[in-house]
Amino acid sequence: MTRFLKILEYALSSLARRKFKNFSIIAIYSFTIASLASILLLTHSLKEIAVNVLADGPDIVVQRLTGGRHDMIPASNAQAIEKLIGVGRVTPRIWGYYYDGLYQTNYTILGVHEKLPPLEMVKGRMVARDGECTVGQGVATTQNAEIGNELLLINSKGIGHTCEITGMFKAQSNLWTNDLILFSQDDLQRFFATPDGLATDIIVEVYNPKEIPVVAQKIKQLFPDTRPVTLNEILHTYQSVFNWRSGMMLTIFASSLIAFSILAWDKATGISGEEKQEIGILKAIGWDTSDILALKFSEGSVISVTSFLLGISLAYIHVFLLGAPLLVPVLKGWSVLFPRLQLVPYVDMYQIFTLGFLTIIPYMASTVLPSWKSAITDPESIMRGG
């Protein structure tokens, strides 16, 4: 133990001699780890939120395809689907998108059928009749609207349509409702000028979750022009959207990893003349090769462990305490309405250990290996600069 502490003390003094260089390495190394870890934490958290909340999503969404594109589906298909064994409630629904030219934002407008039960995530009350609407925080902020105000939108016929804002979704549901406007189904049908008897899609409830694929298959056989999207597929989408193959991970993760590789490569390709001379002197005064390797191992550990701990802490603070301000512009793209990220601190320890393994080990190896090469060379020739 004393030997280890003495070697560590010597390693620290050796690092202190090249203060500026080593502090720069720690800063770059920590920044690289912080950016890699920020992406891992952000994507993992979003994935967990999506998968946990969507567990109660619709069992099957039936869409109709015409010429390979999503098209309106006859609402009468619902009656035939309802007759399938194991199927519960079948609800044709109307929903769509609305571009607000004034604020240059896109809204999602959803029609609700009947009086919905009061929801905890709604301030005020839900839409109960025509001429009323419930809006998301993003919509309210853009329109500078509050509960009780009138919301003016232009309908499909180019005529202004006003509705009274009776409720507003709370900020805690922003990830789901930021751009959402709820109308009554009939109101929305008139707003979009949807022909009678047509719906955007059909929601199917299946009593036994194990029967969902079978019911989806039966719907496909019954109506070959439809595409039933099962709950499992919806969950699978979010698992893939935020997995390591996603573009976000590939672009930022890969570039950070390349930057780190350059740093490690620079270390591995050789050590400075000064460092070589130091190794030669240590050998000449009686240090063993193992002592020199222990010294270099300590130097590498001091830098990599400090950077790793600093990088992970910074990433956590960046993502979960500050709301990932540096990653939001990347994630946001061209979305005008983007919810304020209030991420749930889900941390996957497996990812953190993998990141540690991928960054600490290569750096230590790149520190120890060139030193080992110098340590086994004759000290005299090293000191002479050979």
Partner 1 sequence: MIRTRFFLSCIAFLLITLALLSLHSRYGKQAWIAQELTANRKLVANLALTDLALWTEARYTRHPALADFFAPFQDAPASFEHFPAGSIIAPRLPGVSTTLRVRKPPVGAPK
Residues 322-351 that bind partner 1 (CB under 8 A): 330-339, 344-347
All residues at 6 or more sequence positions from 201 whose CB lies less than 8 Å from its CB, including other chains: 61, 62, 63, 64, 73, 92, 93, 95
Residue 233 and residue 92 in contact, taking contact as beta carbons nearer than 8 Å: no
Give the pairing of strands 160-169 and 132-135: parallel
**Measured from the CB atom, is 63 or 149 closer to partner 1?**
63
**Measured from the CB atom, is 68 or 385 closer to partner 1?**
68
By CB under 8 A, is residue 369 in contact with partner 1? no
Could you give the 3-state DSSP secondary structure of residue 57? coil
Residue showing tokens 């929903």: 95
All residues at 6 or more sequence positions from 296 whose CB lies less than 8 Å from its CB, including other chains: 11, 367, 368, 371, 372
**Measured from the CB atom, is 261 or 313 closer to partner 1?**
313
Smallest distance from the beta carbon of 82 to partner 1, in angstroms?
A: 16
Rounded to 5°, the CA angle 259-23-359 comes to 40
By CB under 8 A, is residue 306 in contact with partner 1? yes
Q: Which stretch binds partner 1 (CB under 8 A): 255-263, 284-292, 304-312, 368-376?
A: 304-312
Q: Which of residues 222-281 bind partner 1 (CB under 8 A)?
A: 229, 233-234, 236-238, 240-243, 245-248, 251
Smallest distance from the beta carbon of 379 to partner 1, in angstroms?
A: 26
- The single residue among 312, 355, 364, 382 that binds partner 1, judged by CB under 8 A, is 312
Query: What six digits make up the tokens of 131?
Result: 């001429």
By CB under 8 A, is residue 290 in contact with partner 1? no
Residue 215 and residue 206 in contact, taking contact as beta carbons nearer than 8 Å: yes
Give the burial class of 344: count Cβ atoms within 10 A of its Cβ; 0-12 exposed, 13-18 middle, 19 or more buried: exposed
Provide the mask over 141-180, with x wherever binding to partner 1 is found by CB under 8 A and - wherever it is not.
Answer: ----------------------------x--xxxxxxxxx
Q: Which of residues 5-34 bind partner 1 (CB under 8 A)?
A: 5, 8-9, 12-13, 16
**Measured from the CB atom, is 136 or 280 closer to partner 1?**
136
Smallest distance from the beta carbon of 306 to partner 1, in angstroms?
A: 7
Q: Which of residues 79-138 bind partner 1 (CB under 8 A)?
A: 91, 93, 97, 105-108, 110, 112, 116-117, 119-122, 136, 138
Query: What six digits make up the tokens of 126?
Result: 């839900």
Could you give the 3-state DSSP secondary structure of residue 219? helix
Q: Which of residues 189-218 bind partner 1 (CB under 8 A)?
A: 201, 203
What is the rounded distance in angstroms from the CA atom of residue 39 to the CA atom of residue 266? 25
Smallest distance from the beta carbon of 39 to partner 1, in angstroms?
A: 10
- The single residue among 17, 23, 52, 290 that binds partner 1, judged by CB under 8 A, is 52
Q: Which residues, in sequence order, are bridge partners of residue 99?
A: 106
Identify which of 165, 159, 145, 166 has the alpha carbon closest to the alpha carbon of residue 191.
Answer: 159
